[in-house]
Amino acid sequence: MARRILVLNPNVTEAITATMVEEARRVASADTEIVAATARFGTLYVENRVEAAIAGHAVLDALAEHSPGCDAAVVSAFGDPGLFAAKEMLEIPVIGISEAAFLTAYTLGRRYAIVCLTPRLGVWYRECAEEHGLAGRLVAVRPLDVPPSDITAAKEQTGRKLVEACHEVIDRHGAEVVIMGGGPIAGLASTVAQEIPVPVLDGVSCAVRLAEAMVDLAPRPASRGSFARPPAKPSQGLSPSLTAWVERSDGHG
Tens of pLDDT, residues 18-34? 999 999 999 999 999 99
Q: Is the pLDDT of residue 168 over 70?
A: yes
Q: Is the pLDDT of residue 251 over 70?
A: no
Name the CA radius of gyration of the chain, rounded. 18
CA-to-CA dists, residue 7 to 10, 41, 85, 140, 232, angstroms: 10, 16, 16, 28, 26
**Angle 70-73-75 (CA atoms, 0-180°, nearest 5)?**
155
pLDDT value of position 250: 58
d(CA 237, CA 228): 24
pLDDT value of position 252: 52
Other beta carbons less than 10 A from residue 120's beta carbon = 15
pTM across the whole model: 0.94
pLDDT value of position 248: 86
CA 112 remoteness from chain centre: 18
* Mean pLDDT for all residues in the chain: 95
d(CA 93, CA 95): 6
DSSP 73-105: EEE-STT-TTHHHHHHH-SS-EEEHHHHHHHHH
Instruction: Measure CA of the first residue to CA of the last residue in the chain; give whole Å.
Output: 28
